[in-house]
Amino acid sequence: MRVVKTIDEVRRQVKEWRAQGLTVGLVPTMGYLHEGHASLIDASHRDNDRTVVSDFVNPMQFGPTEDLESYPRDIEHDAALVEAHGGDLIFHPEPEEMYHEGFSSFVDMTVLTQELCGLSRPVHFRGVCTVVSKLFNIVKPDRAYFGKKDAQQLAVIRHMVDDLNMDIEIIGCPIIREADGLAKSSRNTYLNADERKAALVLSQAIAIGKDMVKNGEKDCAAIIGSMKQHIEAEPLARIDYVKIVDCATMQQIEKLDRPALCAMAVYIGKTRLIDNFFTEDV
């Protein structure tokens, strides 16, 4: 397992693999890897001969008031985890390797990014689409792996790949949770003991929503209402959004009459956490 910092090194390595007829999987991450990332690396290792993990806190997907500076980083820990899960290469560039002086191109879309996290984080998906496009062009993988925890991101990337004819298979992998239900996230590290306990309202609300769907509830407002009520009872929690959207368009719907995503973003103290479920997975 190697850690490289330049685009040229990645390209040379992948070219060598390609010359041997090997397939390549890519797991794009912002580092500070946890079991969620590990499950993506496992999936890639299972499907491909070689796995590249990119480990890059992408400045372009953070807004000016967001946590770019404080976002946790630990490349030694990441390298050990990638090695343990059968990854072959970590691409860990400095920001200036990815964004040279005069950088001004971007990839974006006019739908899918307008709802949910796109509302609270207006530059976020432009940054995601741009850096993922760059990583795809650098690594040229056969397959790329993304977690369903970032459900809107997964939908946006699938749509981008389809619209722009990128010849890459996108694999979405299930949310990995702590024993008590909290979805694994690098940002969980921000939480103090009280907040960690309070953060359970997210996964509890998800369980409430899932149960209602399972029991045949079709009225989105009713589902959302029950979920919100549970979250609002927690004094440390502040709801950014709880919404149910059409899987294909990310537009809000009123009735569960098609494949839908129920997604939420909730501040616990200063930490913004997300969680979700797809009605098809219930």
50 binds its own copies (CB under 8 A): no
143 binds its own copies (CB under 8 A): no
The secondary structure element, H or E, covering residue 9 is helix 7-19
How many other β-carbons are positioned within 10 Å of the β-carbon of residue 16? 11
Q: Binder to its own copies among 3, 4, 75, 107 (CB under 8 A)?
A: 107
Our CB check for its own copies shows the closer of 102 and 216 to be 102
Q: Are 31 and 82 in contact (CB under 8 A)?
A: no
Q: Binder to its own copies among 49, 74, 83, 108 (CB under 8 A)?
A: 108
133 binds its own copies (CB under 8 A): yes
CB of 255 to its own copies, least distance (A): 21
CB of 136 to its own copies, least distance (A): 9
CA–CA dist 73, 30 (Å, integer): 8
102 binds its own copies (CB under 8 A): yes
CA–CA dist 227, 253 (Å, integer): 16
Residue position matching structure tokens 């996108």: 170
Residue type, position 128, single letter = V
129 binds its own copies (CB under 8 A): yes
Q: Binder to its own copies among 111, 211, 214, 257 (CB under 8 A)?
A: 111
Our CB check for its own copies shows the closer of 44 and 113 to be 113
CB of 19 to its own copies, least distance (A): 11
Our CB check for its own copies shows the closer of 22 and 239 to be 22
Our CB check for its own copies shows the closer of 11 and 34 to be 11
Structure tokens at 88: 């072959």
Residues in 1-40 that interact with its own copies by CB under 8 A: 7, 11
Q: Binder to its own copies among 120, 137, 229, 251 (CB under 8 A)?
A: 137
Structure tokens at 266: 């909730």
192 binds its own copies (CB under 8 A): no
CB of 196 to its own copies, least distance (A): 38
Residue type, position 27, single letter = V
Please indicate whether residue 37 is annotated as part of the active site.
Answer: yes
φ and ψ at residue 257, rounded to 5 degrees = -115, 15
Our CB check for its own copies shows the closer of 142 and 275 to be 142
Our CB check for its own copies shows the closer of 162 and 169 to be 162
109 binds its own copies (CB under 8 A): yes
How many other β-carbons are positioned within 10 Å of the β-carbon of residue 208? 18
Structure tokens at 195: 């907040």
CA–CA dist 211, 227 (Å, integer): 11
Q: Are 259 and 279 in contact (CB under 8 A)?
A: yes
Burial class (CB in 10 A: 0-12, 13-18, 19+), 167: exposed
In the three-class reduction of DSSP (H, G, I as helix; E, B as strand; rest coil), residue 145 is classed as strand
Residues involved in catalysis: 37
Contact residues for its own copies, defined by CB under 8 A: 7, 11, 100, 102-112, 129-130, 133-134, 137-138, 140, 159-160, 162-167, 248-249
